[in-house]
């Protein structure tokens, strides 16, 4: 009874606060679901030479445009380390998400980051739980511009360690249609750690079920039978335990 009173009291307090602040029926954080905070005055940023490390944790609502983080970083001429948690979770408007990827690619390509040695970039995307659904197609005329941009970025002259997590594809290792003319050499890179999302930028899945000899997916009942066969094998092998082994060894010694 006390818990119910507390819950009702908390709900009433929330309603009173919303009325006092004139929020009406605002959806609070949900009003940011399909919009990003963009930074429009990059050219006005002063050069900051004393900043050597730039960390940005902007992977939750209200989210910041991914390209804004990269353009802000361009003002730090002596950056040696970046650690970015970015928001890439626009799941309704594929045209917007494709533009966000293109903007980040352009932002990365617009600056050299000459002193950067360690780069850690994670782009949050929650893939559909129903894998019968079709992921979003983020390609521009068949090209994944973001992965291609990361490929060029990975060749920075001083970059030693690169970690990327997100919806990218092997274009980050090159070559691609975008950067066929660029040299495919990593002058300083020693560590490359790439985690691919289960959803691919091409609108496909990065994993699938095993197939039979005809190329068709194995039926679920066959999978279940295979699992049960495995359990039987485990059960039969368990009969040869350590105890039974030593018992047989003792019997052999007595005889």
pLDDT at 47: 85
**Boundary of a domain, candidates 180, 196, 212:** 196
What torsion, rounded to 10 degrees, do the Cα atoms 161, 63, 109, 205 define?
70
- Domain hosting 187: range is 35-196
Helices (H), 74-132: 94-109
Question: What is the pLDDT averaged over residues 85-103?
Answer: 94
Does residue 30 sit within a domain? no
pLDDT at 180: 54
| Same domain (yes/no): 239, 123 | no
Does residue 29 sit within a domain? no
| Same domain (yes/no): 146, 234 | no
Residue 201 has pLDDT above 90, yes or no: yes
Whole-number Å distance between alpha carbons of 136 and 203 = 5
Q: What would the pLDDT profile of 74-92 be if each residue is shown by its tens digit?
A: 999 899 999 999 999 998 8
Q: Percent of the chain scored above 70 by pLDDT?
A: 65
Does residue 157 sit within a domain? yes
Please tell me whether the overall predicted TM-score, pTM, comes out greater than 0.85 for this model.
no
Whole-number Å distance between alpha carbons of 131 and 133 = 5
Q: What would the pLDDT profile of 103-153 be if each residue is shown by its tens digit?
A: 999 999 999 899 999 999 999 999 988 888 999 999 998 899 999 999 999
pLDDT at 220: 52
Residue 235 has pLDDT above 70, yes or no: no
Question: What is the pLDDT averaged over residues 185-193?
Answer: 91
Does residue 12 sit within a domain? no
Residue 1 has pLDDT above 80, yes or no: no
Does residue 58 sit within a domain? yes
| Same domain (yes/no): 113, 186 | yes
Does residue 133 sit within a domain? yes
pLDDT at 158: 95
């Amino acid at each position: 009874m006390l818990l119910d009173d507390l819950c009702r009291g908390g709900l009433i307090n929330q309603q009173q606060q919303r009325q006092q602040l004139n929020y009406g029926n605002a959806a609070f954080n949900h009003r940011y679901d399909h919009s990003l905070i963009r930074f429009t005055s990059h050219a006005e940023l002063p050069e900051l030479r004393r900043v050597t490390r730039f960390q940005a944790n902007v992977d939750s609502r209200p989210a910041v445009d991914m390209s804004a983080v990269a353009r802000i970083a361009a003002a730090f001429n002596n950056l040696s380390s970046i650690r970015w948690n970015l928001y890439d979770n626009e799941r309704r408007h594929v045209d917007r998400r494709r533009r966000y990827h293109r903007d980040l690619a352009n932002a990365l390509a617009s600056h050299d980051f000459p002193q950067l040695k360690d780069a850690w970039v994670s782009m949050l995307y929650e893939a559909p739980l129903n894998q019968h659904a079709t992921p979003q197609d983020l390609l521009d005329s068949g090209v994944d511009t973001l992965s291609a941009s990361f490929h060029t970025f990975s060749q920075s002259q001083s970059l030693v360690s690169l970690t990327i997590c997100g919806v990218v594809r092997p274009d980050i290792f090159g070559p691609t249609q975008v950067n066929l003319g660029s040299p495919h050499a990593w002058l300083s890179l020693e560590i490359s750690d790439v985690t691919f999302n289960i959803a691919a930028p091409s609108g496909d899945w990065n994993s699938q079920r095993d197939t039979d000899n005809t190329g068709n997916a194995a039926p679920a009942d066959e999978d279940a039978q295979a699992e049960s066969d495995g359990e039987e094998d485990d059960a039969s092998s368990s009969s040869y335990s350590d105890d039974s082994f030593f018992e047989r060894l003792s019997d052999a010694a007595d005889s």
